[in-house]
Amino acid sequence: MKNASTKLGKKSFTIVEQACHEIHGFRKLYDELQQKMVLSGRSPSTLSNYARKMAHISLHFRKLPQDISEKEINRYLAKLAQESKTPSLSDFKFTIYGLRYCYHLLGMNEKAIKLPSLRQERKLPVVLNYQECIALFKTPELIKHRVLLSLIYSAGLRAQEASHLKIGDIDSGRMMIHIRQSKYHKDRYVPLSLIILKGLRKYYYSCQPVEYLFNGNEPGSPMSVRGMQWVLREAVKKCKLHKGITLHTLRHSYATHLLEFGMDILSIKELLGHERINTTMIYLHVAKPRRTNLFSPLDRLCDKP
């Protein structure tokens, strides 16, 4: 179930291509799925996740998702849940989301309703403290990597946003960064840090990037998210941090630190580009309280004679 690609003769196919090749009608279903997602503003990564799960299940049963019985789907999902260490964060979740989206697309709402519901996790995000941030940003040997990690944190960027930034998006006159067509196909501006501007100028004169702020290996291409993840992993190893840090941890840390420094939650929502305030509210549970009269009762008990 979990192979991303397979061999067909001498040619290597992705799982979606294989399903289009082997399952009658899958290509039409995929085209409809792609069109609907583009029109509704869904991200390419969401399309990829859903399409791969639909391809897996179609190849498993040798028929389209709409032709699979409820009993067959339940057995498939039960096996998938057993194989997954954390079902709510795994193939299990995206298979259910993909099936639900597919059934709604095909007007099979009753079939979508019968799918298992997913329990909402209430985990708080991992956040770096101030000292860990400083250590992390100083660690990479290359100035490109130091500026990259610092910039993601300083502006609360998503990984794709950092990858797609172009040189012209840095407005030093207004001290703003223009983030174009991000999640939900929305543009937004975020403040440009003066420290980052100085670092960007050193980086620019040293590396001479073309078009994209952080160029990839291919001429005219942006640095990939995978490449950025590698930069972060190497820095984390050298810093010997053990918090389960990802690129998104830098964005979580940005939002949390803004709260701790006194910025209001509505302003942070706009800077992050969130659709709903509820998404931003989670940082209220992470930020260190600014009130000074908070304490643990254990400390007071131990002070008693």
Conformational region of residue 170, where left means phi above 0, alpha means psi within -120 to 50, and beta covers everything else: beta
Point out the catalytic residue in the list 27, 104, 188, 248.
Answer: 248
What pairs with residue 166 in β-bridges?
212
205 carries an active-site annotation: no
d(CA 41, CA 47): 11
Please give the helix or strand (H or E) that residue 191 lies within, else none: strand 188-191
Residue of 30, 50, 203, 283 marked catalytic: 283
Active-site residue, 183 included: yes
Q: Which two tokens stand for residue 180?
A: 């174009």
Q: Is 158 a catalytic residue?
A: yes
Q: Which residues contact 270 (CB under 8 A, 6 or more apart)?
A: 188
Is 251 catalytic? The answer is: yes
Please tell me the distance from the alpha carbon of residue 283 to that of residue 135, in angstroms, as a whole number: 23
C-alpha dihedral sign at 101, 102, 104, 108? negative
CA-to-CA separations, 151 to 41, 163, 185, 193, 210, in angstroms, rounded: 26, 11, 22, 8, 18
Helix (H) or strand (E) holding 57: helix 44-61
Determine contact, residues 228/148, Cβ cutoff 8 Å.
yes
Catalytic residue among 111, 146, 158, 269: 158
Which residue in the list 53, 146, 251, 252 is annotated as catalytic?
251
Out of 104, 180, 183, 238, which one is annotated catalytic?
A: 183
Q: CB neighbours (10 Å) of residue 145?
A: 21
Report the chain's C-alpha Rg in angstroms. Answer: 23
Q: Rounded to whole angstroms, what are the CA distances from 256 to 96, 171, 246, 279, 305?
A: 32, 25, 16, 13, 39
**Burial code of 174-194, b = ≥16 C-beta within 10 A, e = fewer?**
eebbbbeebbeeeeeebebbe
Report the catalytic residues. 158, 183, 248, 251, 274, 283
